[in-house]
Structure formats: C-alpha cells, structure tokens
Structure 1
Amino acid sequence: MKFYLPFFLFFLAFLNIQAQNIKVLNSVTKEPIIGVAIYNIDKSKSIITNFRGEADISEFSNTEDIYLKHLSHLLKTITKQSLGSTNTVFLEANTQGLEEIVISASKFIQNKKDIPQKIVSVNAQNIQFTNPQTSADVLETTGQVYIQKSQLGGGSPMIRGFSTNRLLITVDGIRMNNAIFRGGNLQNVISIDPFSIENTEVTLGAGSVIYGSDAVGGVMSFYTQKPKLSYTDSLLFKANIILRYASANNENTGHFNINLGYKKWAFLTSASYTDFDDLRMGAHGPSDYLRPEFVLTTNNTDQVIANTNPKEQKYTGYNQLNLMQKVRYQPYKNISFDLGLYYTTTSDIPRYDRLIRYRDNTLRSAEWYYGPQNWFMSNLNITKLSSSSNLYDKIIASVAYQNFEESRIDRNYQSLTRNIREERLNAYSLNIDFEKTFSPKTQFFYGVEYIYNQVNSKGLEENINTTTTTPTVSRYPDGASWQSAAVYSSIKYKPNTKFVFQSGLRYNHIVSKANFEANNTYLNLPFNRAKNNASALTGTAGVSWSPNDIIQWKLNASSAFRAPNIDDIGKVFDSEPGSVVVPNENLKPEYAYGADLGLKLDFNNKVVLDLNAYYTYLDNALVRRDFSLNGQTTIMYDGQLSNVQAIQNASKAWIYGFEAGLLVNLTKNLNLNTQYNIIGGTEEDNAIEVPIRHVSPNFGNAHLIYTNNNFKVDAFVNFNDEIAFADLAPSEVEKDYIYAADANGNPYSPSWYTLNLRTQYHIGQSTLLTASLENITDQRYKTYSSGIAAAGRNFILSLKYSL
C-alpha cells in the first residue's frame, strides 16, 4: 500500500498537470488552430495557441469564464471545469467571414463584399467533402460553372456562355493559358491536382484589366497549399494520406503530403496518383449513348467487336500523376520568398468522342488518342511589405517558367497509316504587382506583365507494319512565338462602410510570329511568314452599395479582349469530319463589352438570396468559317478531301443570363442551398443569327445539408434542361454522333437529373471517412456538347489519415 500510494498521487498530479493543457481544433477538419487568443473577461490573463493548437491554461481558475477567439472562427466561452477529461475544444469556422476574403479581383487580399463583380469561392474543406476526381469537377461543384467532357480525361469549363480560350486559368497567380489554347474544348484544367488546392476563386464575367487577353467570360484562379512555418525553434510536422475508390470507373487513387516547418524555412511535398478504368454509363436513358461495338486491333489487323456490355464506354480509361514541391523562406516579417515546382503527366488518353464516329455505317477510327499530357511549372514569388515607400505598401514579384507537351495520334479503320502530331510549348512570364493605400478611403493597385511563348510542332505519318515514319504537315508552324506586354492600374474608393467604387484600365500589346515554310511543302500557302500585331485598351468600373444590413447592390461594367494567338493564325487540323482549318494571318482582337447587376438579400444569415443578371456583346468574334486557299475551297488532308476553313473575325454575339442562389439556414445544423442558372444568346453567321456553341442549357442544383461536430451529410439533386434541335448551334448539329435523336431523328440534348447522397464522418482526430452515392437512380445522360456519357450509379469511398 505504501508503494502504491505515492504512485497513485503521482498519477493524479500528472493528470492535473495534463489538464492544464488544452488543444483547440477546427470542428469540421479536426485540424489544430494556430494563434487562438485565450483570455478571461478582463484580459488580465491571456495566452495564444502554438502551431499544434495547444496552450497552457494553468493560470486560469476552474470556474472562471475563458474566451477563445480566432479571426476565422466563432468566439467560444468555456471553463476548465467543463472540459472534463478530453482537454479538447472545438471551434466552429466562421464560413461567412472566410468567404468574404478574395485575392483574384486585384491579386491582393480584399473583402469580397467590396468587389463589384460576382466571385464564387471553393475552399479546401468544401473540396474535401465533395471529393472530386479532377479539378474540372471542383469547378462543377460551384453550381455556376458548366463542364463539357469529350473523354474521361477531360473537362472543359463553360462560364456565362464562354468557354475554352475565352476563359482564363491561373495557378498561384500564374497564367496557364498559352499561345496554343484553342477555341475547341480544352482539357488543361485537369493538370491541376485537386488534392493540392487550398482555395479556388471563380470570377464570373470579364477580368481583362487584371489578367489581359482571354479573360472574356471569366477567370478560374486556383491557389495551392502553402508551406507552413512553425515561427519557433520547434519543428512543425504535418502529413496526410488519402486513399479513394470509385465504382463507376473503378478509380484507385492515392495521395500524400508532408509539411516540414521551421522558424524561417518551410517545405511542402505533395504527390497524387490516380488510375481510371473504362467508365460505365447509367441504365436509364437514351439508347443512342450506348457503345454497341468497338475496334480491336491485333497484330496490326483491325476488327469490329461487339461490346458485351454496351454501357461500358470502351476505351476511356487512363492514369495521371501529380507532383508538387514548395519551399518558403521568410527571413523577416516583411519579406518572404516562395518557390513552387509543379509536374503533371498522364498516360495516353483515348479521345472517346472520335472513337464513336461512323462513316458508311462503319466505325471511322481504329485509334484516336491524346499522347501523355505533360505540364511543368516553376514559380518564384517574392512578397515585400514596406511602411516607408511612397510607391507601394506591398509588392509581389513573380517569375515563372512553364513547359507544355501534348500530342494527337489517330488512325482510320483498316488503314496502315498512323497520323502523329506533337506539340511542345515553353512559356516565360514576369509579373510585378503593387498595392498602395493613399488614405483610409483610397487604395491603388497597379502592375506590369510580360509573357513570352515559343511553340515547337511536328507532324509524322507512321506505317504501322514497318514502323517507318515520314514528315507531314504539323498542327502549328514550328518555332512560332507569341509575346505580350502590359501595364494596368486599378483604384478602390471606399468613403464609408456602405459604398465602394472600383475602376481600372489596362493596355496590352501582343505580337505573334510564325514561319510556314515547312508546312508550305504540303499546303502551298500564299505566304511563308506571318506577323500579327495587336493592341488593346480595356477598362472596368463598378460599385458595391449596402444601404443597410439586409440589402447589397452590385453594378459593374467592363470591356475585355482576346488577341489572336498561334492557334488562331497558324493552326492546321481536322476540325470535324470532312473539314480542315488552315492558317489566316489577317486577324484582329475580339472585344467583349458587358454589364452585370447583382442584388443580395441577407436576413440575419437565416435566409440569403443572391440574384445576378448580366449581358455581354462580343464584337469581331474570332470564329471558324469556310475559307479558300489559293482559290480552292477543298484540299486533301490526311488522305481525305476536306472543306477549307479558317479562323476569322466574322461574327458578333449577344449573350445574356440570370443567376439565382438561395441559402436557408433551417436550424443551427440544417440548411438548404440551391442555385439555378439561365443562359441565352445568339451569334451572327453569314448575316443570320444562330445559337452559340458554348451557351449551356439552363442548369442548377439543390442541397439539403446536415452538420454536427463529427458528422456531415448532404442530400442533393443536380438538374439540366433540354436543348432542342432548333436551339443547337450549327457546329453542334454537325456532331450528331454525340447527341441523342429526337422523334424526327434530329440531334438534341435531353434534359436530365441525378439524385445523390454524400456523407463525411470523423473517426477520432486523425481519420476522416467520406462516402458518396451519386446518380442513385442510375440515369444515362450527357452534359451538353459532351462526347462521353456521364457516370451511372457511382459509389465513392475516401479515407484520410492525418499525422
């Protein structure tokens, strides 16, 4: 007994000592919260949590009120007595406050409420819960970005009637759009690893003043995770491991990231690998989408094989690897250096919409696929704060290098010739951005930008029996260059808390150069070289007005532009069966002039109604139209007599729409969230107004979400209206093989809906389980203009373990 008593007393003392330390965690992510202020009512006692979210509260008495306060979380009051044996406190995120901070509007942090434009944000917690397979799916979860897919390894965003090279993509502030971004559907967004994303901001509408060419319909800004410093002599170590499986395409995904934080240095390593099998479509829907047969090649001999499961979309599977390494160095409080290295590579990606084309009742292609899509970026970012400079309060300088590699390989059924087109592009950019506060009411933003792109392209024909290759016409003129120089400025005037005015101007000059001597061996163009000079002046002006706590008005007017790039002036490719696009050097920038009006009604955060209306006029639109080459309207291309077409300033367009969002917080734990988008528009085609290709159907969603400390469930529906044959753009009518047939046998895009259920459960503080059942009723459908049918009933399971 004498032996056990001291041991028992020591044990009680140990428990008492331990009880003086608490750990503060986010109630949803269960991650530690750094920098929580802990104090009593008169603030005579105070402490701040460290990088582990821990603090010693031994100086507080057992019964006095202890306040826990953090900028991004709700204030909480506890007593030491109420802690019990857990010693853990959970704080609820102030999501309303988090959503108000945006970067993309000026490249500097601003209050979202001050921005005249509509900006949609998706944070890491939302991404973790929605569990998307690609970054294109991340955008789709916003409910305001429409996604088209030509193949499983794809995802081409549409925003307010614009798509592809009329939308801009940035990664950590660096422009991803390059000189060969095309008007056809683009898949580059899938190169961004969804597991690495910290936050995504989608600007709805023009963004040319800040971002230049291509930011006509919107800007998609992806901000990846940052290395975290410990700010102490102790090591801050964090690691996450994620495993995921999806049944509809037999997806197997693995991801890990590791953060090592020191006082002045921090390192973040991230890696993801995903393997997708062929995608299975739903059981209930148009039979036109089924895959009844496919081409099987054995010993260079093609044979059409009956598909034993027509719902399985042969061939769609592929795999992808994403790597990211970041380094942060902060020698002083007012300066930091951030280096980011990003690398993405894929396997060959079958171009499914080309594999389902028929010619004379026989499948046209034996093979059609993209070669590995490789993207590398290095980005050095220097941020400096100054309290003494007359020129700036904050400066961000970024220098970046990107390398893009892509290829297209196709071979017709029973043909011995395989066509190969390979592209490599090097992109260099320099951005210097400044922020200056002149007074408590006035802020000024300005900057300069320089971009240089060089394109290397080659074309080959390969005999599949002998494997010998011969040169042929390349997709782009080899050695072509595209460069852009710009200056911009923007001013923000906020005379009081209710009213904000923002305005800006940008001047851009773009030069494109191309040499067609090599391709003239095959095309006989009337010129050997082309040089295109384009200048553009764009502006924006808008106001945000909140006359009271309930109402907020936003009004914004802007102009935007897209300058011709190498894809416009120099491309040679088969745009559709029986047509070939040839170069055209006589191009000018296209301009967009638009306005949008927003009204937000917030009834004490119980009911929030968000309404937006917009209108855009596109002038001198760069579009593909029939053309003549040396007086000829047809030429031979890849062994087929084809109509000649070219990109031309040959159109005008009018686009308009309305967006409505509703949030109803039914209880503290239950809310209803819904979004609906109405879009319309026409363009001029040979003096006739016709539907626009990238105007999506009206679409929306509705979510009923329940949340408590450890459990979250979301029952939701996605829905999509029909586009009738009469409302299809002419270019879509020509692609009848991707559409369903109406009662008259004409192509159209049917309406559809899906019912879905998603849950998330925290198992302790380190393990997170996410499970989803999507398309519960197993609908067979395609999103508008998509060549591949969407997933049928799909069970998704994800497990995350954190250290």
Structure 2
Amino acid sequence: MRRFLPLIFFLYCYVGWSQQVTVLDGDTREPIPNVAVFNPDKTIISVTDFDGNFDFATFLKVDRLTLRHLSYETKKVTRLQIVKNGYKIYLQMRPERLDEVVMSVSKWEQQKKEVPNKIVSIDAQTIALNTPQTSADLLQSSGKVFVQKSQLGGGSPMIRGFATNRLVLSVDGVRMNNAIFRGGNLQNVISIDPFNIRNTEIIFGPGSVIYGSDAIGGVMNFYTKQPTLSQKETTEFSGNANYRFSSANMENTVHADVNIGKEKWASLTSFSYNSFQDLTMGSHGPDSYLRNNFVMTRNGEDVLVPNNNPRKQVPTGYDQRNFMQKFLFRPHVNWDLNLGIHYSETSDYSRYDRLIRPSRDGLGLRSAEWYYGPQKWFMGNMQLKKKGNGKLYDGLKLTAAYQFFEESRSNRDFGGSILNTTKEKVDALNLNLDFENKKIGNFKLYYGGEFIFNNVGSTGLDTNIATGERASAASRYPDGATWKSLAGYLNGEYKAKPNFIIMSGLRYSHVWIDALFDRTFYAFPFENADVSTGALTGSLGFSWFPRQNLQITFNGSTGFRAPNVDDIGKIFDSEPGSVVVPNPDLESEYAYNLELGIQKNFGDKLVLKGATFYTYLVDALVRRDFTFNGVSQIEYGGELSNVQAIQNAAKAYVYGFEFGLDAYLTDHWSLASNFTITEGIEEEEDGTDSPARHAPPTFGDFHVKWKRERISTDFFLNYNGEVANDDLAISEQSKDYIYAKDENGDPFSPSWYTLNFRSQYAIANNLNATLSLENITNQRYRTYSSGIVAPGSNLILGIGYHF
C-alpha cells in the first residue's frame, strides 16, 4: 500500500489543480477579468477570462502565485491557500484606479480617463464601509453631492445648483423620472435599496444627449447587483446576510440575498427590511431647532403636549421593505438576457417640516396631521444584450421596462375635522434601443432611440375624522393625463492622438402632454392642455494628456427640461398664503453649460483634481405670481391665498468650483478631501435677481484612512458653510421656522461641522463587522433647506456574512 501512496498523492494533486480558479472582488464578490497570474519567475502563465477564471493545470510545480491587476492590490497565494478557500481568490481594490471603467456617458463601457465629463463612482467596497441607511445617504457620503431632507423618509440631491426634476435618476439604465416629478424636494431615491447597489455613477452637468429631458444638473445612475453564473457543471449557491443598527433613530435593518448559479442561467433574490424610530438631534446648537411640543389627538380633540425629550423629533419614524428578483440567461457567449423585478414600499411617514410650522397667530402649531402615505415603486425590466458580428454594430442593447409609482399626501389643520388626502399613481413604459460600433478605426460610435409613455392617475378625498363621512375632493393633478417622449441620439468618441480624445453627441427629443381638467371643484378658464414641444441638444468635449501624469478636460453641452404634468396641471398649497394653479401654456427650458477640469498625479502618491463650471438656464420653469379667472387671490383650504403658477418667467446662471485631493502616504495610510463652492442667481423678467433656491452652501470633507488586509478605518470631518439671510432664496426666507435667527432676528442657515469615524473588520473570509460613530461632538445642525434636524451622536453597528 505504501508503494501506491505517492501515486495517490500525485493523482489527488493533479485532479485538484486541474480545476478552475475564480478570482473575485473581495467586497462585491463579483468576478474580475484580465487578472495576470505570474509564476515565481515573473512570467505570465495565465490571464483570467470574462468570468474571472483561470486554469489550475499549468501550476502543478508552482509553490506560490502572484496575481496582478491595475485596479487591485497585488496578491500572492500558495496552492494550499487556494484549495482551502474553495478555489477562489479575493482581491482588494486599489484606492486610485487609473483604468476605471464607466458606463453612464454612453451606456457602454468606456475608460473614465477618456471621458471629458466629470464622473464620480461609488463602488460596492465604499458602500460596504459607509453602511448608509438609504441611497440618499449613500450619495451624501460621497462628499460631492449635497442632500436636503424635509423628513426622515427623504433625501433630495442637489448637484451644481440644480435639484429634483432637473436631475435624472436611473436604475439599471431605466430612468425613474416620471410625469409628476416636481420642482419641490423629492424622496424617490430612497426606493433604491443600498444593499443591492454594486456601483453608482454620478454625471455632473447636462446629460441630455443620452438621457433626454430633466438631465440639466446631472445624472445619478444606480447599477444593481447581477446574478452570477456557475463556472462548473454543478449548481452553485452563494449569498449574503446583513444586520445594521444605528442609535440616533434606533434603526434595525436586516438584509439577505441568495444567488443560484447554473452554467447558462442564474437567479438572484434579495430582501431588506428597515425599521426607523424617531430621530434624535444633537446637544450643541440653536435652541430654535428643539421640538418642545407636538400635537396629539385625545378623544377627538387636538391638544398641544410638551415633549419630554425636546431633542427627539416626534414623529419621524417609519418602516420600509425592498425586494429584488433577477434572472440571467446566457445561451451563448455573445447573448445575455436579463430580467429584473424591483419593489419598494414604505409605511406612512410624517412630513416633519410641515408639522413644525407655527399657527397663524404664532401661539401653537398649524397642522395636526401632515403625512405621506406609503411610497410604492415597482419596476419590471428586460434587457437583451448582443455582442459582436453585427454589420452596423459591435454591441446591441434592447431594454423594455414597466414602472408603477404610488404616493399620497394627507393633511389636517389643528382643530380641524377634515382630513384632506390626494393620491397619485403613475404607470410608466420605457423602451430603449442602444448600439455600440467600434469598427471605424480610432472612432467609436454610440447611437440609439428611446420611447417613454406615462399615464397619471390622481384622486382627492376629504374625510371627517369625527363622523367618518367621506366626500370627493379636488385631485392634485388632472386624472388620466399622459406624458410621452420620442427621441434619437448619436454620440461619438474619436482618438485623434493617443493622448487626445474628442467626444461629441447630438439628440433630438419630442414631448407630448395631454390633460383634461375637471371643473367640478374649480372653474378653470380652460378645459384641457395639449402640449407638443421638441428639443435639440448637443455636447462637445475633449480629454487631453499633455503629459502622462497630467489630464485636462473640457466639455460644452446643452440640456433641456420639457414641462411635465406637475408643471402644467398641479393644484398645491405651495407655502403658507399661496396656492399654485395650472398653466397649460408652457415651453421647455434650456441650459447651456461649460466645464473645465484638471487632474495632476504626482508619482502615484498625490492626486489633485479641480473643475470649474458655468451653466446658463433660459426660459426657466419657475413658480411666480399669476392670475386665476382674472383675480390674483382665491380662497384655498379656508385661507385667502395669493395665486401662483409655474411659468417660463426667469433666467438663471449657476457657477462654481470643485476640488479634490487623494494622497497615498504609505501602503496603509491615505488622505482624501473634497470641497465644493456653488453660486446661483435667478434673473426675473423685470431685471431684478435673487439667490437660486437649489444652490447649496459651500461644503466639503476631509478623510484620514488606514487600511490593512483585514481592517479599514476612516476618520473624517464634514463641513457646511453659512448661508446668510441675504443669500437665501425668497422662497426660503418665508420658511423662517426651519432656520436659525441671526443677530437681526432674520432667518439664516448657520455653518456646521461634524467629526466622524468608520471602521470595517474582516473577522474571517466570509464574515465582517462594521463600527461607526457619526457626529462625535454631538452637534445640533440642519443642513441647508432641510426641515428635519440632522442626527446627533450616532453609533452604527453592522455585521455581514457571505456564503
């Protein structure tokens, strides 16, 4: 028997080493292609394929392998380690990735360094360390996007002085923007589960050539996780389980996902549940932010009761559920069929900024109730991808999606018996056909078309809380209104020289709106809105490397936003004493943008980045004084209110500067910093001007990071500058109840800072833990234009298990 032991050992080794090894990202667990595998003589003996695999057979006599990839840390492994880890090798991402690939500018993979637009990527590794509560918090944690919050269940991004319906939200290539995206603050971004995101790309500046209407200030693309195929003949199972707790609102979050992989098809199922209690603010800051009392209804009567803990913002808590199901079918190496289902639903959640409004006599609170009903979002999408062998293309994507949105608002005055509720539903169809052609020498061409159809359902209801009697009421929008868009685009990339790349694009979009107004509750001077408007937009830019370590980018582009159903048909109590009425006579607004960027790399030890931009907006859709049936005031909600409407009544310009720093002090220590300055002015038709509402204050951050193989830490400072009273938009000055008071008693937004700490520790290859402490000094502050006060000192604990 002993004579056969060497032979048995040899056969065992041969069988083991003839298996394929898969190289995976250490954080996302996704395969990494094009990893070079070296033997001890530094000779490349294999390169991983598209699915991250290489063959073991050639390494029978090699004791230690070296794996290298430009985007990842070099790693050395032994045969024993590979076998012990189940023939899987995990690599860690480098802090600065020179060959980073982005998809947002053309909808196809491009080298980031060749793109003239400023793009920020937030990868799964960063998300895992930041452990954000919502996707709004994920954007804010980048240090490059400002986020406003009216309530805990919210988060409205601001990019380069624009927000809400002048920004585009996109999930897996499908735009979330719909016909009722408003100019006021939006919270749709919280419907995207951060646990499902594998990468987020943010385009700064107009993106209308690819994304059409609304892409004036920027585009936020969320790419969710994909199912993973098996690399063996057997079925492979993998997944994740996560738990997160935060002390500021006693959050409890659980998440689980399971991947089932076969050779040609795979399934990914994901579920998350969030429970948030009332949010507690910090100890050190303006006393006017405290919640000293709140409204309770006892025996059918509203009473003002003292808050036992004035730092607790009552009521702000809510629950949320997210579900995702994806299927991938790959019948051939050149064909992919992806099917995806997303569903998100919240509980009711209070609009906190409306619940702290003082009553008209200043002695109490105006509202007894003001809350959003469940925010629901469903998306079913199908994407067919084909690579190569086409006469006119090298890549084809056909994307078809159906989305359903539901939201509602309910409010009741203090002491009032009528609860007014409006409910909105939107059915949205999206169809995109995109092509990529790389066969024209140094020229790449991207082209395609898009069709969008939205149908809006809107109802109103008054409920007597004493008797339970219900009666129909005015809806928020014209019920049955439709919004349609048809567009085609061309986008080209030309490598004039190895160090000089030009990108240019052109798009034509046409938009139709049809709406019929119900005169039951209001005597509208018109019966319907029939809008038909087109827009031609373009871009031209370059990326130039005068030296290998110096990059200069320039981009000129135009963007547009066509009016939607919210613009032409909304009846809404916009602010105390004013009411918005419909205006069917609207046209598109246009933006003209210039951007210059520079990046300098000092020996891969220090990277400095800077950008400046200027955007000019004409025919801006803004809320201004109006007349209704010839009068400037009407009674609305029991109050004589000034009449206003959305109009093409202003011009605006926004300019600013953005700075970034990345310093790699040692293999373990690094620094990072971001700083943004934005100024915005709206010009009226009479020549007067005022500060733009969505131009955020100066903001920035500074990070000190330390990382070893199993542990990552980040100690950082967040900073926001002051917005003086004279620099507040007129619409903001009227909301004095959410702002602090300056020495003259006028509202203003004070500056603030927080000190914060994050850490992540890999207990084992499949188990990691996170510990964070935000706002260590317990500051009490409100971010600009926000109704809710930010969290005080906040302990965050998380644990994640991968199998």
Letter aligned with residue 139 of structure 1? L
- Between 294-303 and 704-713, report the one with greater CA deviation: 294-303
- 2:726 aligned counterpart, secondary structure: helix
Letter aligned with residue 485 of structure 1? L
For residues 82 and 408 of structure 2, the distance between their equivalents in structure 1, rounded to whole angstroms, comes to: 60
**Matched residue, 1:618:** 617
For normalisation by structure 1, the TM-score amounts to 0.95
For residues 98 and 372 of structure 1, the distance between their equivalents in structure 2, rounded to whole angstroms, comes to: 43
For residues 110 and 235 of structure 1, the distance between their equivalents in structure 2, rounded to whole angstroms, comes to: 33
CA 1:537/1:49 → structure 2, altered by over 3 Å: closer, same or farther? closer
Letter aligned with residue 297 of structure 1? T
**Matched residue, 2:597:** 598
CA-to-partner distance for each residue in 1:715-754, whole Å, 9 max, x for gaps?
A: 0000000000011000000011111111111100000000
**Matched residue, 2:502:** 501
**Matched residue, 1:439:** 440
Matched, 1:325 2:325: yes
CA 1:681/1:330 → structure 2, altered by over 3 Å: closer, same or farther? same
**Matched residue, 2:802:** 802
**Matched residue, 1:696:** 696
For residues 641 and 4 of structure 2, the distance between their equivalents in structure 1, rounded to whole angstroms, comes to: 92
**Matched residue, 2:289:** 289
- Between 49-58 and 406-415, report the one with greater CA deviation: 49-58
Matched, 1:521 2:523: no
For residues 50 and 538 of structure 1, the distance between their equivalents in structure 2, rounded to whole angstroms, comes to: 36
User: How many residue pairs align between the two structures?
Assistant: 796
**Matched residue, 1:29:** 27
**Matched residue, 2:452:** 451
Q: Which runs of 5+ in 1 are unaligned?
A: none
Shift of 1:38: 3.8
For normalisation by structure 2, the TM-score amounts to 0.95
- 2:487 aligned counterpart, secondary structure: strand
Aligned 8 A contact 2:368 2:412 in 1? yes
CA 1:204/1:469 → structure 2, altered by over 3 Å: closer, same or farther? same
For residues 571 and 630 of structure 2, the distance between their equivalents in structure 1, rounded to whole angstroms, comes to: 18
Aligned 8 A contact 2:70 2:98 in 1? no
Letter aligned with residue 628 of structure 2? L
Aligned 8 A contact 2:36 2:44 in 1? no
Letter aligned with residue 307 of structure 1? N
Aligned 8 A contact 1:62 1:81 in 2? no
CA-to-partner distance for each residue in 1:655-702, whole Å, 9 max, x for gaps?
A: 100000011101111100000001112111342111000000000000
- 2:785 aligned counterpart, secondary structure: coil
Shift of 1:37: 5.2
Shift of 1:419: 0.4
Shift of 1:47: 8.4
- Between 631-640 and 471-480, report the one with greater CA deviation: 631-640
CA-to-partner distance for each residue in 1:394-435, whole Å, 9 max, x for gaps?
A: 111111100000000000011110000000110011110111
Percent identity, aligned pairs only, is 49
Shift of 1:96: 3.5
For residues 259 and 213 of structure 2, the distance between their equivalents in structure 1, rounded to whole angstroms, comes to: 36
**Matched residue, 1:369:** 371
**Matched residue, 2:564:** 565
Aligned 8 A contact 2:28 2:124 in 1? no
Shift of 1:301: 1.7
**Matched residue, 1:155:** 155
Q: Which runs of 5+ in 2 are unaligned?
A: none
Query: For residues 203-222 of structure 1, what are the structure 2 equivalents within 5 Å?
Result: 203-222=203-222
Q: RMSD value over aligned CA atoms? A: 2.6
Letter aligned with residue 440 of structure 1? G
CA-to-partner distance for each residue in 1:593-640, whole Å, 9 max, x for gaps?
A: 010000000112211000000001000100000111011111111222
For residues 51 and 660 of structure 1, the distance between their equivalents in structure 2, rounded to whole angstroms, comes to: 37
**Matched residue, 1:118:** 118
CA-to-partner distance for each residue in 1:529-578, whole Å, 9 max, x for gaps?
A: 11111111111100110011111000000111000100000000000011
Aligned 8 A contact 2:293 2:307 in 1? yes
Letter aligned with residue 600 of structure 1? Q
- 2:288 aligned counterpart, secondary structure: helix
Aligned 8 A contact 1:435 1:443 in 2? yes
Aligned 8 A contact 1:24 1:91 in 2? no
Shift of 1:525: 1.1
Matched, 1:383 2:385: yes
- 1:568 aligned counterpart, secondary structure: helix
Shift of 1:11: 12
- 2:127 aligned counterpart, secondary structure: helix
Matched, 1:419 2:420: yes
**Matched residue, 1:792:** 792
Letter aligned with residue 678 of structure 2? I
Query: For residues 350-749 of structure 1, what are the structure 2 equivalents within 5 Å?
Result: 350-359=350-359, 360=361, 361-387=363-389, 389-516=390-517, 518=518, 520-685=519-684, 686-749=686-749
Letter aligned with residue 439 of structure 1? I
Aligned 8 A contact 1:23 1:53 in 2? yes
Letter aligned with residue 354 of structure 1? R
For residues 45 and 777 of structure 1, the distance between their equivalents in structure 2, rounded to whole angstroms, comes to: 54
Query: For residues 128-167 of structure 1, what are the structure 2 equivalents within 5 Å?
Result: 128-167=128-167
Letter aligned with residue 128 of structure 1? A
CA 1:588/1:76 → structure 2, altered by over 3 Å: closer, same or farther? same
CA 1:264/1:25 → structure 2, altered by over 3 Å: closer, same or farther? closer
For residues 306 and 59 of structure 2, the distance between their equivalents in structure 1, rounded to whole angstroms, comes to: 77
- 2:67 aligned counterpart, secondary structure: strand
CA 1:577/1:10 → structure 2, altered by over 3 Å: closer, same or farther? farther
- Between 93-102 and 231-240, report the one with greater CA deviation: 93-102
- Between 778-787 and 32-41, report the one with greater CA deviation: 32-41
Shift of 1:72: 4.5
CA 1:415/1:537 → structure 2, altered by over 3 Å: closer, same or farther? same
For residues 9 and 30 of structure 1, the distance between their equivalents in structure 2, rounded to whole angstroms, comes to: 40
- Between 633-642 and 174-183, report the one with greater CA deviation: 633-642
CA 1:31/1:426 → structure 2, altered by over 3 Å: closer, same or farther? closer
Aligned 8 A contact 2:617 2:653 in 1? yes
